[in-house]
Structure 1
Amino acid sequence: MHDDATLTVGRASRALKERILPAVHAASIPFDVAAHELPGEPIPPTNGLQLEFEAYEVGTPWGPPWGTTWFRLRGTVPQHWAGRQIELVVDLGFDVSRTGFQCEALIYRPDGTPLKAVNPQNQHAVLLEEAAGGEEIELFLEAAANPEIHGSRGFIPTYEGDVLTAHREPLYVTRRMDLALFEEDTHELALDIEVLLDLAQQLPDGRRRHRILQALDDALDVLDLQDIPGTAAAARAELTEVLASPSEASAHTISAVGHAHIDSAWLWPVRETIRKVARTTTSMAELIDRTEDFVYGMSSAQQYAWIKEHRPEVWERIREAVAAGRFLPLGGMWVESDVVMPTGEAIVRQFSQGQRFFEREFGVRCRGVWLPDSFGYSPALPQLMVRAGFDWFFTQKISWNQVNVFPHHTFEWEGIDGSRILSHFPPMDTYNSELSGEELAKATAKFRESRRASGSIAPVGYGDGGGGTTREMVGRAQRLADLEGSPTVRWEHPDEFYDRAREEVPEPPVWVGELYLEIHRATLTSQHKTKQGNRRSEHLLMEAELWASTAAVGAGAEYPYDELDELWQMTLLHQFHDILPGTSIAWVHREAQETYEHIRARTERIIHDALTALVGTGDVPVEANPTPFSADGLPAHGASPVPEAGSDAVLLTETKDGGFELRNALVSVTITPEGHVSSAVDLASGRECVAPGQEAGVLQLHQDFPNKWDAWDVDRFYRNRVTELREASSLSAEVTDTGGAVVTVDRSFSASTLQQRLILEPDSRVLRFEQSTDWQETEKFLKASFPLDVRAEHTAAETQFGFHRRVTHSNTSWEAAKFETSMHRFVLAEEPGFGVALVNDSIYGYDVTRDVVDADVTTTVRLSLLRAPRFPDPETDQGVQTHVYGMVIGAGVAEATRAGIEMNMPRRRLNGSQGFAPLVRCEGEGLVISAVKLADDRSGDLVVRVYESLGRRAEGTITVNAPVAGVREVSLIEDNLTDVGTSAPVRLRPFEVRTLRFSLG
């Protein structure tokens, strides 16, 4: 940059910051302020307006952490302000260097009408567009004193993340609560200078840049810094020519959509999110009213539902704006969920609950899935999106990769079944765009499909904690709509962008497989009880639907539609991408565990009531089996008498060195005196599962202090230091009443203790580990290691409706980056003819390494059990934690799938007066039933979902034990696709998911 240019930029920047922006509201008078600090939780606004208020002096501390203070403001418009725009200006004690994560407020008029929100970057509200003079103004502010958990000092452990442990001293000091004149010319001049400054600093050295710099100098020469409002119009006139110069025909096009990515919980509890949504949507409705072309997009049906329930006065404004096409429901999901850990059924319900809400309330369906900030994307997701009726996908999170740069911005994403969906990542790499010059230049320079595609998307507005788009951003967009040297900016529905992209790039590049995020890998492990509650809730709800459907069809019982919807919605909310990943404050996870217990109790009652309706009352032992296998000897979704323990009991023998051998008809397992597995033999083949000279089930403890994001990240160097927990404080063994054998081992390390029960049952290939850990560690990572005598080129890890293969080597940087990966109920290490699987009830993370023992390659798989990060919850996972996992000795995909489902959906045994036949039977190798439920439209039709689990083509038949009048194939959200007839033959491609709807006669 030339010296003259440097001087101009410095001159304009200082004048803008120190003189022009403060002059937008230079004339002001303070309100008379009174306040009422609530002693506990927030109250409805109608109650807040009726509080008794006491005099309050601006400049006084207010607001203990998580507290609410209601302020009442009263003032009179001076007569000499007649004809001018009058605004409220509020500074609650904001840190203006940050966009959020602190105090904020919603402004109400005396009649309870919400006016607008105020936050650090949006401190005004329009009161009168043209004052008459003498108006009496009364306003109420519902101010939230949310602590800065993530402050300017970085990620520092704090106990303010829970109202139960936070201190009670005031956090903030108000600076300003004024009635102010709005100087429109000054405001517009500030935007003119800001946009031109940004552009000049991004342009190459040339005539356009120098013309802008000269115009800025000319404007500042005209501007009287002692009378900015009086000279702003003249200064603006000096900028007219450079602002009117049109953009090039080939300029990159920015499809802007107003946005405020509001985390449904994160550094604040769910109850505060409800208020954040109310504040943001009120501001966005107000901005829509004051503009002609601005559009605002918001995802998450849950957030709309909160507003409908808790803020009806805001809800009506949203409904009107949606009807006008200015407020855009996006995403079609209940929340912006994690999409790595939830089951396939949970993802389906995210879609079905979301789309049902949007259609019911607004008469619209979302065409695309909007997930800007989730921590990686499952390879099963493309099929689920396509089969739910979506035709596009949006995210930007992959731009956070630590090592590898993703090669596309507009592309097709192909999933495990071959389904493809048009996808887009914004090249400006943010979902919180301010339309800055730097962002716009990056979008132009980095867009990888620019040879064909004309533009990209920009979500515009302050996010994470909400806030949304500001009038300043709208003002920038107006100037950037057609400005030489800049991309062109237009407000546009994402649907329109994707339609144009599809035409411009008819054969886009293709990305096959998972979209792995090379950061935030520890989200697969943090906050174990939250993950455990999620897994149990998902499976209990699927089981509750099965038994309730069976009871409704077979016994005439009432199907609990409303209750199941409510329980699913609770579960789906807690799959939000900062709750299920374990990255929220302590308050969020404390409440999540309470909610999961609530879900457990209610689903168990639904199951109990349904089974009682089916078996009656009596003393006949009945076994109810929810495991959804086909053609494998299991009664699919049915019942059978409980077998007695027989002569095939496990043989338990003590070894010479004080360990134990466990043997049944299928496998032999040797346990060392330290409680580790030194041998696990498949008796039919004679194959040993444990790598030579190694032991399986060894617990390993790592130091775990990532570079930045404690609860989110585990960095590769954690492997450099490991302690193996080899010593046992006690070891014992016994035979169980079921004919099985159990070895119990107790361990202690540092301040923690744990107990493991290693269990082998008759006729089972699964060595089961039941582990209880009193976890008292800090910044540690606990793994369970299984060195396997298997030369596996890949692992097969279960994902939604199938599995995903990952190589076990690290030949390239892409493979090396995947040093911690995801699974659902199993991970399988297999060579041709033999494999070993690890199954679990609540574990999502694992890692794999290759080793050479006696010139033979072995495979070590380690399960990720517990972490102990200190931010944002300094007590993460402290206390008693339970895990159940198992080693499947001699397994392929079918055995791994079966063992994983059985571990998560065990058979139920109860007494009644009779048994009952299965409602649904499925025949066909590899076919797995995922859901049996009654249709969402409450017609009484039966919906059955089935998928191919082995990764190959399959054929089979689904039979319903009831009169069937007709069968239709439907989408995942139960839209009609094709008539099938009166029977249900099934032909599936590898990993294909099909949903059938049976009309019962």
Structure 2
Amino acid sequence: MKYMKARSTIPVRSRRLLLAGAMALAALHGAAQSGKPTLFLISNSHLDTQWNWDVKTTINDYVHKTMTENMALMDKYPAFLLNYEGAIKYMWMKEYYPAEFERLKSYVASGRWHVSGMSVDAGDVMVSSAESILHSMLYAHRFYRQEFGVRGGRDIMLPDCFGFSYALPALARHAGVRGFHTAKLAWGSASYDRLAPFGVWQGVDGSQIYAIYKPGAYDAHEEFNKDMTTDQETLERARANASAYGVPAVFRYVGPRSDHGGGLQDRQGSTGENTPYWLDLSARKQDGDLNVVLATPDECFHYLDSLRNGKYQVWDGELPMRSHGVGCYTSWGLLKRWNRKTELLADAAEKASSLSHWLGARPYPAPQLRDAWVRMLWQQHHDGVTGTSILAANDISYNEYYLANKQFAQELLASAGATSALMDTRAGGIPMLVYNPLSQERTDVVEAEVDCPAGPAGVRVLGPDGREVLSQVLSHDGRSGRLRLLFAATVPPLGYAVYDIRPGEPSTLTSSLTANAQARQMSDGRYRVTVSAQGDVAQVYDLVNKRALLGAVRQQMIYDHEDTWPAWEVSYTDVCRTPSAQLGSGAQVTLVEDGPLRKSFRVWRSQDGSTFVQYIRMTALSHRIDCVNEVDWQTPGRMLKVRFPFTFAASRDTYDLSLGTIARGVRTPDCYEVQGHQWADHTAAGGQYGVSILNDCKYGWDKPDTRTLRLTLLHTPSCGGYRHQANMDLGPNQFTYSILPHDGGWNQHTQCEAARLNQPLLAFTAPAHPGTLGRTVSLARLSTDSVSIKALKRAEDSDELIVRLYEWTGTDQPGVRVTFPAPIESAREVDALEQEVGPATFSDSTLTLAIGHYQPRTFAVRLKSPSLQPDTAALGGTPVSLPYNVDVMSGDKSRGNASTLYPYAYPAEQVPDTLLSGGVRFVMGDRRDGRRNALRCSGQDITLTPGAGEDKLCLLMASAAAQGSTARVVVGGDTTTIEVPCYTGRVGQPLTCTTLEAKYTRDPVALAIPHAHSVSGRANEAMQYMMAYRYCVPLPQDASSARILGSDTRLLLLAATTSSSPMDDLREATPLTTEIDYRELGSALADTLDGRLVPRTVTASHQNGSKEAATMANDQDPATKWCVTGGQSQEPWLQYTFAQPVVIDRWMVLGAARENGDYVARGFRLQYQSEDGTWVDADVVSGNTLNKCVRTMTPLTTQAVRLQMTQGEQDGYTTRVCEFAVYGHPQATTAITTVEATRQGMGHTYDLQGRRVSAPTHGIYIRDGRKVLVR
């Protein structure tokens, strides 16, 4: 097509207009088929955000090279064009390389650099929720529009993702996207051979987008090192496509290899590496057999649209992979759990913030929510949440997930506090505010914890109307004075209700819920659950229809081995294996909850080194049967599945896709391990009844036969390559799966119950006061439960409410009504990018719409403001003028130009002038170079001028000390002590194969900048977080000054404000954040600090200098190591000598898999020194693949031990040991010490089988490595 040849002579923007017009004309006259065939080359530079490297390398090297190398190619070759996706990379360009980023803007403006894709990152679309995908497109679009003045591509650019959901076309169309392209289907899609090279992909709601399925490898380039206008193979393909589909064209990727981004090599004369030259020549040449166009995906899809005809293949279904990627539904369960929990916390925070904003109770925290969303969304990149990156990358993701989790929780808490201040919370007992983030009114169980110094005989709970509701006491901790309780709460949709908790008052309410401990049975009057002696749900029985629905639900261990792609794949062979073991031996089954609201059996089991605790629960409010699991997983080379054997057949089961559902049959070699989100359903062939299986953080399923469904829980394969992945999931794991029997087929009831499981009611204790809102409030109500409000937020660029609805039963819904608490002033339909689509129908306070099956629809609604409007400006508080005395900030052009007292400086450009945190406004210090902007606290008095009613002093603080600092704040006669964390480092660290313990910073984060300036190095430190924390202390009436004292000179006060904000008045009664750690387990095999014996001296046969010395194996810091090169010694030893004889019963070696999985020591021995001085083997390890190898043994007594290495690596002899520890107690310690049960000490308590015991009663236990008699 000759119009394509205008590239070299016509300005790009004009060329784009001509291109569109010419293609439309070609389609109109049918000239495309008779014209010259075209090769469309989609030039790209694929960069994995993390994979075999971490994001620090991406930012420091790959992002910069991608910019500079491609801009150089554009300067040299007039026809060269690049398509580049991933808004997060552009954000890093702006943050770390501002000068180059400004240059880049001109290339984008000229059309030479095309902002492609429409997402924060090239994210996984099988595990990510529908709302994550839509928010990703929204925030990418917003950034592109603000920085470049463009919308971003109208394409889904996912060249390297592991499968594509049936929901994706629907989500894409809702964001105005026209097409999708990928290279990954060639890696083994079950549908690959049935797919055309390109065509139309139809989604779950009937939406259609164009798709390029077979563009070749995204890093192909050698084959284009020639004049492509005369390439006969391409010409033949184009002619074949013209005949088969009416499209005389071929679409191909071209790009550099290695997934490092960067530019194509431009080496003249180098075979296969002079691609830019040949691309430019081919694109500019006029007289060849083929047109060659370096095209944007938008142009490709416009071209396909112009030639649309009846020959186009319409693919109506999902596009999963056969094997490559199906393991990603399960790999690294920590990531999956944090992802699900954080997605849903984001939803709850947005909805709560929308209500408090509409009420005028607080400004909408858009920057804070957006920052948390983006932080979470880039963890969903296709080597992130999928679990396929190196361990160092995972550590960064854990921290990012937890930080986003905290940010959402903080905004939710602040919004709930602001709304609560307007409600009537008066109570005879403890006022409790209960929040429902779902769009369905619900009566559900609240599990809460409140202060109650004395152990109550019972508890009585009154609802908003003053009537008593079902309740029961779970436990009371006499030491902390905390009471755990359950109560039934009815809460309006997207709203709150106030309850009155009265400890000590007896409740006489009963329910139909029953339990029989001896028979191990529970019943809610409709269904009966029997628990077997092996600890399984043995049967679910329908008492009304007199039929069993489900047989023994067994957790199964299955051999799991992957030579090449361990995290990515679960083989068909392994999935079909007979289980190597099923849980059950030695089970302990106890009825532990026996109240009128909930019955619960606790099951303890162990198998092949792993320990399991499960609570099997029924409540009086639902037919749902919950199985709440905690697992100390220590069984490598296995996957764990749970099998649900139904008593009735179904040829196909239905799986939740987050938006819509899909039905799949019995597994086949092409489709065996499949993806599903919150539930899957098995309904009898006639549709009379069925059972839904729900879960709270799992995604992998298989259907072995017509009567069985299995959910994959853990995936820890033995490995050939990527050896660090042999450690996946080892350690603590929590997950819940639930059994939901139902009449008829699945419907909105299944959806609602899954939503309730995943988003439980949240409770807060509140101060008692009257309020004009009354005791309940709701932001919106739906006329039907067949539709759900899945997003409710403030618009990005207006004060409208964005309301997004999904149809979630698969049936068109006419006449759906959304009713708000105030008249609607305006309403319009918008897309996912919040761009106007058309008008909306509304009357008074009700929006009316029709919605198609599984369709997403979004509306921008402006409500009349309520009459009760507090002064939100006043809530922000009165800034305090501080006597700043130190500079802790530096600009990008003078990195590290700050006080040399501290190792890092805050990057000035990333610090706002005014920071809003928890509704409090902090005015920051002068960020210009050389100015003082922090107070080094050493007892200075600061002057306070609080406004009327301001009763809190809010402080923005940080410590430059690695261990943190202690602040003492003296106001009036009161002193408040605050432990302030370090201003850098991680806030979230789970217990994994590379750590010794879980560490979580619980303090409220007010500022989190993923970027530091090194003061000594005068350089950027990528992903070196700079933090500041918010604290509030009571401010007595008439207080005019405060004194801040620090435990050291490293305590920093960055800003202070006096405030009357009620947002800090609430306290969590149910946890908001997700901390992954042991609750009940954490056996001696997993705990690496309890009972650790400290040597007097540490010596070694060799060490690799002072920076990798022997002592570093004993410093309890997993980031350091003892190292001996193979050249120094192939069998070095490390010796610990103790001050007195010790008794040792277990030991641990922590390897260096965080650097490389091949660095894990393959062979080593624990030796002890006998009385005659000889060294004796106490334990021998060979063929090891575990990074954290913990061993138990028969107790021995010695005064010295050695770690004798035999093979320091998997394939070599360099030794790298991050930690070596032995556990037990000094020989002089009395064998059994008698202690009171209430004296818990600092360490954990275990029974003699190594199981952690949270509340020992009487008997012999292990505590701090010693035997104790608890009486």
Q: TM-score, normalised by structure 1?
A: 0.70
Q: Which residue of 2 aligns with 1:317?
A: 103
- Tell me the amino acid that sits aligned with residue 414 of structure 1: Q
Q: Return the offset for 1:664.
A: 1.1
Q: Is the CA contact (8 Å cut-off) linking 1:667 and 1:682 kept in structure 2?
A: yes
Give the partner amino acid of 1:942.
Answer: L
Counterpart code for 1:910: F
Q: Report the residue type matching 1:991 in the other structure.
A: Y
Distance 2:365 2:242 in 1: 52
Decide whether the 8 Å contact of 1:711 with 1:869 is kept in 2: no
8 A Cα contact 2:118 2:155, kept in partner? yes
C-alpha change, 1:883 and 1:373, in structure 2 (3 Å) is same
Instruction: For residues 487-534 of structure 1, give each alpha carbon's deviation from its aligned partner in whole angstroms, at most 9, with x where no partner exists.
Output: 553322222222222223433210001111222210100011011111
Give the residue type in structure 2 aligned to 1:945: R
Q: Is the 8 A contact 1:435 1:460 kept in 2?
A: no
Question: Which residue of 254, 273, 297 maps to 1:460?
Answer: 254
1:727 aligned to 2:588?
no
Residue 973 (structure 1) shift = 1.3
Gapped regions of structure 2 (runs ≥ 5): 1-32, 267-273, 444-489, 501-506, 769-773, 865-1271
Secondary structure at 1:906's aligned position in 2? coil
Equivalent position to 2:741, from 876, 884, 889: 889
Per the alignment, residue 1049 of structure 2 pairs with none
C-alpha offsets along residues 180-236 of structure 1, whole Å, 9 cap, x if unaligned? Answer: xxxxxxxxxxxxxxxxxxxxxxxxxxxxxxxxxxxxxxxxxxxxxxxxxxxxxxxxx
Instruction: Please state which structure has a larger fraction of its residues in helix.
Output: 1
Q: Which residue of 1 aligns with 2:1187?
A: none
Q: d(CA) in 2 for partners of 1:645 and 1:376?
A: 54
Unaligned runs of 5+ in 1: 1-247, 852-857
Query: Match for residue 822 of structure 1?
Result: 675
2:731 to 867, 875, 879: 879
1:458 partner amino acid: R
| Aligned residue among 847, 861, 865 for 2:710 | 861
Q: What's 1:395 paired with?
A: 182
Cα pair distance change 1:609/1:713, threshold 3 Å? same
Kept after mapping to 1: 8 A contact 2:49/2:55? yes
* Residue pair 1:630, 1:923 contacting (<8 A) in 2 also: no
Query: What is the rounded CA distance, in whole Å, between the counterparts of 2:710 and 2:396 in structure 1?
Result: 33
Cα distance in 2 between the residues matched to 1:763 and 1:748: 32
What one-letter code is carried by the residue in structure 2 that aligns with 1:905? Q
Structure 2 residue 410 is matched with structure 1 residue 605: yes
- Equivalent residue in structure 1 for 2:241, among 449, 452, 459: 449
CA contact (8 A) 1:254 1:490 kept: yes
| Structure 2 partner of 1:413 | 201
Q: Which amino acid aligns with 2:812?
A: R
Q: 2:837 aligns with which of 977, 980, 985?
A: 977
* Aligned residue in 1 for 2:319: 515
Residue 330 of structure 1 deviates from its aligned partner by 0.1
Measured in 2, the distance between the counterparts of 1:433 and 1:450 equals: 25
Ranked by relative contact order (alpha carbons within 8 Å, sequence separation 6 or more), the top structure is: 1
Task: Using the TM superposition, give the Cα deviation of residue 803 of structure 1 relative to its aligned residue in structure 2, in angstroms.
Answer: 1.4
**1:370-389 residue CA offsets vs partner (Å, 9 max, x unmatched):** 11111111111111111111
Counterpart of 1:835?
Answer: 690
Provide the residue aligned with 1:848 in structure 2: 703
SS at match of 1:361: helix
The one-letter amino acid of 2:249's match is: G
2:342 corresponds, among 537, 549, 560, to 537
Q: Give the structure 2 partner of residue 382 of structure 1.
A: 169
Say if 1:703 and 1:779, in contact at 8 Å, map to a contact too.
yes
Counterpart among 580, 600, 615 of residue 742 in structure 1: 600
Task: Tell me: CA distance 1:268–1:765, structure 2 relative to 1, closer, same or farther (3 Å).
Answer: same
Task: Determine which structure has the larger strand proportion and give its number.
Answer: 2
Distance 1:829 1:444, change over 3 A: farther
Match of 1:491 in 2: 294
Cα distance, 1:306 vs structure 2: 0.4
Q: TM-score, normalised by structure 2?
A: 0.56
Match for residue 623 of structure 1? 434
User: Secondary structure, in 3 states, of the residue corresponding to 2:368?
Assistant: helix
Q: Measured at CA, do residues 441 and 743 of structure 1 come closer, stay the same or move farther in structure 2, by a change above 3 Å? A: farther
Q: Which letter does structure 1 place at the counterpart of 2:560?
A: D
The Cα of 1:649 is off from its aligned counterpart by 5.7
> Is 1:574 aligned with 2:574?
no
The 8 Å contact of residues 221 and 255 in structure 2, kept in 1 or not, is answered as: yes
Matching residue of 2:304: 501
1:708 aligns with 2:571: no
Q: In structure 2, what residue type is equivalent to 1:461?
A: G
Mapped contact 1:755–1:773 kept (Cα < 8 A)? yes
- On the 8 A contact 2:432/2:765 being kept in 1, the answer is yes
Q: Which of 700-709 and 667-676 deviates more?
A: 700-709
* Residue identity opposite 1:476 in structure 2: W
Distance 1:503 1:930 in 2: 35
397 and 486 in structure 1: CA distance in 2 versus 1, 3 angstrom threshold: farther
Question: What is the CA–CA distance in structure 1 between the aligned matches of 2:291 and 2:330, rounded to whole Å?
Answer: 44
Q: Deviations over 1:706-741 (max 9, x none)?
A: 252111011110022412223243221122556311
Question: In the comparison of the two structures, how many residue pairs are matched?
Answer: 735
Which AA in structure 2 matches 1:607? L
Preserved contact between residue 457 and residue 494 of structure 1 (Cα < 8 Å) = no
8 Å contact kept, 1:461–1:467: no
1:598–1:442 CA distance, 2 compared to 1 (3 A): farther
Q: Against the structure 1 CA distance between its residues 517 and 850, is the aligned structure 2 distance closer, same or farther, given a 3 Å change threshold?
A: same
- Quick check: 2:174–2:832 contact (8 Å CA) kept in 1? yes
Do 2:82 and 2:114's aligned partners in 1 also have CA atoms closer than 8 Å? yes
Within the candidate set 782, 786, 806, 1:947 is matched to 806
1:805 Cα shift? Answer: 1.6
Alpha-carbon separation, structure 2, partners of 1:695 and 1:936 = 51
Structure 1's 872 and 642: CA in aligned 2 closer, same or farther, altered over 3 A?
Answer: farther
Cα gap change, 1:444 to 1:877, in 2 (>3 Å): farther
Q: Which moved more, 1:526-535 or 1:425-434?
A: 425-434
Q: Which residue in 1 is equivalent to 2:951?
A: none
Displacement of 1:401? 1.6
* Residue 272 of structure 1, CA deviation: 1.4
CA distance in 1, matches of 2:163, 2:562: 19
Q: 1:695 to 1:363 in 2, by over 3 A?
A: same
RMSD: 2.5
Partner of 1:903: 757
Q: Please state how far the C-alpha of 1:758 moved relative to its aligned partner.
A: 1.1
Matched residue SS, 2:120:
coil
Is 1:267 the equivalent of 2:267?
A: no
Amino acid across the alignment from 1:457: F
Deviation at 1:637, TM superposition (A): 1.2
With over 3 angstroms needed to count, the CA separation of the structure-2 counterparts of 1:639 and 1:384, relative to structure 1, is same
| Deviation, structure 1 residue 317 | 2.2
Q: Cα 1:622–1:496, aligned 2, differ >3 Å: closer, same or farther? A: closer
Matches of 2:195 and 2:344 in 1, distance apart?
A: 37
Question: What is residue 155 of structure 2 aligned with on the other side?
Answer: 368
Identity, % of aligned positions: 25
Counterpart-to-counterpart distance in 2, 1:701 and 1:456: 48
**Partner SS state of residue 223, structure 2:** coil
Contact (CA 8 Å) 1:966, 1:981: kept in 2 or not?
A: no
Shift of 1:681: 1.9
| Partner Cα separation in structure 2 for residue 916 and residue 995 of structure 1 | 26
Instruction: Report SS of the residue matched to 1:917.
Output: strand
Structure 2 residue aligned with 1:989: 852
Separation in structure 1 between the aligned mates of residue 132 and residue 280 of structure 2, nearest angstrom: 42
Q: Mean alpha-carbon deviation: is it higher for 358-367 or for 498-507?
A: 498-507
Residues 379 and 796 of structure 1: is their aligned pair in 2 closer, same or farther, counting only changes over 3 Å?
A: same
Give the corresponding residue for 2:890: none
Q: Which amino acid aligns with 1:865?
A: L
Measured in 1, the distance between the counterparts of 2:178 and 2:116 equals 13
Deviations 1:565-604 (A, max 9, x none): 0000011101101101111111111121122221222221
Q: Distance in 2 between matches of 1:442 and 1:675?
A: 63
Distance 1:456-1:646 versus aligned 2 partners, 3 A rule: farther
1:930 equivalent in structure 2? 790
Return closer, same or farther for 1:869/1:487 CA change in 2, 3 Å cut-off: farther
Q: Tell me if the contact between 2:517 and 2:590 (Cα under 8 Å) persists in the aligned partners.
A: no
Verify the 8 A CA contact 1:266 1:583 in the aligned structure 2: yes
The whole-number CA distance in structure 2 between the counterparts of 1:354 and 1:489 is 30
